[in-house]
Amino acid sequence: MRRWWREPPVGASREATVAITGLIYLVAAIMYAGALIAYHGLGEPWWLQVAWVGTPLVVGVRLLTLRQRLPRTMESLSPIVALIVGLYFVVAADRGASSMPLALPIMTTLINSPFKFALRQVAFNAAVILTATAAVLHHLGVPAGDLILLVGSWVPMGLLMAWAARLSDNAEKDALTGLANRRGFERRFEAAATGYTDRLTVALLDLDGFKQVNDVLGHDAGDQLLVACAEAWGPLMPRGAVLARRGGDEFTVMTQSLNATDVDRLLDAMRLACPDQVTLSAGVASLIPGETTGELLHRADLAMYEAKRQGRDRVVRSRPLPAARRAGDDRLRQSVAASITNR
């Protein structure tokens, strides 16, 4: 529960959050269009009424078709921005005590937030949105009973959406550590690689001597060690980073906004934070133009084994593979694929 409070859902990848945001804009456009039809316009210039519907419609379609990433600050402030714009629409409509239906599109932001943000930000958004909306509607003359109904219906709906947003976590979450599992990591990794890739970096981590822990102390002790590592490393992760357990004692870290120096500092901090005097070996690689995600992971894997070879308990940064080496790896993959197909 603490992880839910401070971290967004596992499924809150860039593609998912942008798609949800785009859908919310489309819903708002439809609801504003319905309000204009129901109230026979707002007595304003026709171009302004078109703008009320057209703006969220264009933004929603653009987000859904182009999958463009919102700036981080804009993404965090989007519910509050939607609140301000929506309340301006409500006040401009000047419908007095009958203004409450016009405020319903504002409430759609409560559906959006749980799918994008940690629960602490969802709670903040809900408190600001419901308080501000109720205050404005009360000022316009909406009866207190209607306001209580509005808030009372949307609070449980927001809680339901927060719960639904995390149902998918179970399919993409490692049951032991609570981190993203291999499936969850790969989905987010592929989504990240299709967008802004100038700083996409992956590190593969392997605990040194983990097999001996299992052999000497038993698998329960090994499981406790893995959980302790996850708990020690989790607070070190910067915003936007993904920490996942690939399987066994192997972990993966993906970052999209850190430079090489900051990534090295993060991995060194993780290495020093290992519990019970356990050490780790890590290989790190950053995406280069023209490289596939498979090649990036392969380079990180080679760097991790180089860290093992050099004596363990260290971080090794990968260099781009020579063209001849990449060609040889491609032929090997094609040969394996052909042998599987021919069986």
Least confident of 21-30, 145-154, 303-312: 21-30
Please give, one letter per residue, the 3-state secondary structure of 34-60.
Answer: HHHHHCCCCCCCHHHHHHHHHHHHHHH
330 is a catalytic site residue: no
> Tokens for 270?
């993780």
Q: How far is CA 109 from each of CA 2, 64, 79, 115, 161, rounded to the nearest angstrom?
A: 23, 17, 6, 10, 11
Q: How high is the pLDDT of residue 342? A: 38
Measure the CA dihedral 295/296/297/300, to 10°.
Answer: 120
Q: How high is the pLDDT of residue 332? A: 40
CATH architecture, domain 182-341? 2-Layer Sandwich (3.30)
> 339 pLDDT band (50/70/90 cuts)?
very low
Measured in whole angstroms, the distance separating CA 227 from the mean position of its chain's CA atoms is 22
Residue type, 302: L
Mean confidence (pLDDT) of the chain: 79
- Express each pLDDT in 23-76 by its tens digit: 877 887 887 788 777 766 655 667 767 877 888 888 888 877 765 555 666 767
Tell me what the mean pLDDT of segment 250-270 comes to: 91
The percent of residues in the chain predicted with pLDDT above 90, rounded, is 20
> 338 pLDDT band (50/70/90 cuts)?
very low
Please name which of 42, 148, 142, 22 lies closest in space to residue 89, comparing C-alpha atoms.
42
Least confident of 97-101, 132-136, 326-330: 326-330
| Region(s) of the chain under CATH 3.30.70.270 | 182-341
- Express each pLDDT in 283-297 by its tens digit: 999 988 878 888 889
The residue from 94, 206, 249, 276 that is catalytic is: 249
Q: How high is the pLDDT of residue 337? A: 40
> 265 pLDDT band (50/70/90 cuts)?
very high
Residue 323 has pLDDT above 50, yes or no: no
Q: How far is CA 264 from each of CA 33, 69, 283, 298, 316, rounded to the nearest angstrom?
A: 52, 26, 10, 19, 9
The percent of residues in the chain predicted with pLDDT above 70, rounded, is 80
DSSP SS3 for 245: strand
Residue 134 has pLDDT above 80, yes or no: yes
Q: What is the CA radius of gyration of the chain?
A: 25
As a whole number of angstroms, the distance between CA 267 and CA 250 comes to: 14
Return contacts of 17-21, CB within 8 angstroms, 24+ apart: 17/75, 17/115, 17/116, 18/63, 18/67, 18/68, 18/69, 18/70, 19/63, 19/64, 19/67, 20/112, 20/115, 20/116, 21/63, 21/70, 21/75, 21/78, 21/112, 21/116
Tell me what the mean pLDDT of segment 131-143 comes to: 91
> Tokens for 342?
């021919």
- Express each pLDDT in 172-212 by its tens digit: 788 888 888 888 888 778 777 765 556 789 999 999 988 88
> 19 pLDDT band (50/70/90 cuts)?
confident
> Tokens for 202?
């992956």
Q: Indicate the DSSP class of residue 240.
A: T
* Better-predicted residue by pLDDT, 14 or 62: 62
Output the DSSP codes for 230-286.
HHHHGGGPPTT-EEEEEETTEEEEEESS--HHHHHHHHHHHHHT-STT--EEEEEEE
Least confident of 126-140, 209-223, 310-324: 310-324
